[in-house]
């Protein structure tokens, strides 16, 4: 349990140190995401499942690479891992690794009067940690860019 608490604390402090530049919410999937500066050559994103019981906290972390930028639109691709931070504690599973995902997305900031408010759309193929099953997920959300 000490390792899990340490890992959770580490993620918390890394998000504070990174000074998240963008916060996104995907209401249809109940995910809250924190991203570093999206104008960088590579930005990092952490997502937390908001409708899970504490025994099934799911977090996804991974890098994203902007492949094309226009005035108010960023196209990106990336991938990462899905972690169940408390799987071994409550579910008696031996691994916290739940699976892997890829992402192909767009972030648009279409509102002239609210230039920091954006819309996100992403296609994210997902597979479990054993790479035996998979699914194709779609995310639609809103974001707010702080800087």
Domains in the chain (CATH in brackets) are 2-145 (2.40.160)
pLDDT at position 1 is: 47
Specify the pairing of strand 73-84 against strand 97-108.
antiparallel
pLDDT at position 55 is: 46
CA 1 to chain CA centroid, Å, is: 24
pLDDT at position 59 is: 85
Alpha-carbon distance of 10 to 122, in angstroms, equals 27
> Please, which residues have CB within 8 angstroms of residue 33's CB and are 6 or more apart in sequence?
22, 23, 24, 25, 26, 45, 46, 47, 48, 141, 143
Specify the pairing of strand 117-128 against strand 43-49.
unpaired
pTM greater than the 0.75 cutoff: yes
**pLDDT tens, position by position, for the chain (147 residues)?**
455 555 555 555 555 555 668 889 999 888 889 898 888 899 999 888 877 655 457 888 999 999 999 989 999 999 999 887 765 555 555 677 889 999 999 999 999 999 999 999 999 999 988 899 999 999 999 999 887
> Please, which residues have CB within 8 angstroms of residue 123's CB and are 6 or more apart in sequence?
103, 104, 105, 136, 137, 138, 139
Two tokens, residue 127: 């597979």
pLDDT at position 7 is: 52
């Amino acid at each position: 349990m000490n390792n899990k608490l340490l890992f959770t604390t580490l993620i918390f402090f890394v998000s504070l140190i990174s000074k998240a530049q963008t916060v996104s919410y995907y209401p249809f999937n109940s995910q809250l995401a924190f991203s570093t500066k999206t104008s960088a050559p590579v930005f990092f994103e952490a997502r937390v499942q908001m409708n899970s019981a504490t025994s099934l906290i799911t977090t996804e972390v991974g890098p994203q690479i902007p492949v094309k930028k226009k005035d108010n639109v960023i196209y990106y691709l990336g991938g990462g891992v899905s972690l169940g931070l408390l799987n071994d504690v409550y579910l008696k599973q031996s691994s916290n690794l739940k699976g892997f995902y890829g992402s192909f997305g767009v972030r648009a900031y279409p509102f002239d009067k609210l230039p920091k408010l954006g819309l996100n759309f992403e296609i994210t193929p997902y597979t479990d940690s054993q790479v035996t099953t998979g699914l194709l997920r779609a995310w639609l959300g809103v974001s707010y860019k702080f800087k």
